[in-house]
Amino acid sequence: MRGKLYQWFYFLVVVVFGCACSGSRRSDADREEARRAGLELQSIMDMVVSKQVPAIEFEFDSDKLLEPSFRTLDMVAEILLKHRTLKLTVTGHADDVGAEEYNKKLSLRRAVAVKSYLVLKGVYPDFIRVYGYGKSLLLVNETSDKARALNRRVEFQITTRNWESVY
CA distance 47 to 132: 25
pTM: 0.77
* 151 or 25, higher pLDDT: 151
pLDDT at 161: 66
Architecture of the domain whose range is 2-161: 2-Layer Sandwich (3.30)
- Given a contact cutoff of 8 angstroms between Cβ atoms, the answer to whether 121 and 162 are in contact is no
The predicted-structure confidence for 112-158, as pLDDT tens digits, reads as follows 999 999 999 999 999 999 999 999 999 889 999 988 888 888 888 88
In the chain, what are the domain boundaries? 2-161
Q: What is the DSSP string of the chain?
A: -HHHHHHHHHT-EEE-----SSSHHHHHHHHHHHHHHHHHHHHHHHHHHTTSSPPP-B-TT--PBPTTHHHHHHHHHHHHHHSTT-EEEEEEE--SSS-HHHHHHHHHHHHHHHHHHHHHTT--GGGEEEEE-TTTT-S----SHHHHHHHSEEEEEEE-S-HHHH-
Please name every residue paired with 88 in a beta bridge, in sequence order, or none if there are none. Answer: 128, 158
CA distance 75 to 72: 5
pLDDT at 18: 30
pLDDT at 59: 78
pLDDT at 50: 82
Q: What is the mean pLDDT of residues 39-48?
A: 82
- State the CB neighbour count (10 A cutoff) for residue 158: 23
Please name every residue paired with 13 in a beta bridge, in sequence order, or none if there are none. Answer: 156
The predicted-structure confidence for 70-99, as pLDDT tens digits, reads as follows 999 999 999 999 988 888 999 999 999 999
Of 1-10, 62-71, 103-112, 138-147, give the range with the top mean pLDDT. 103-112
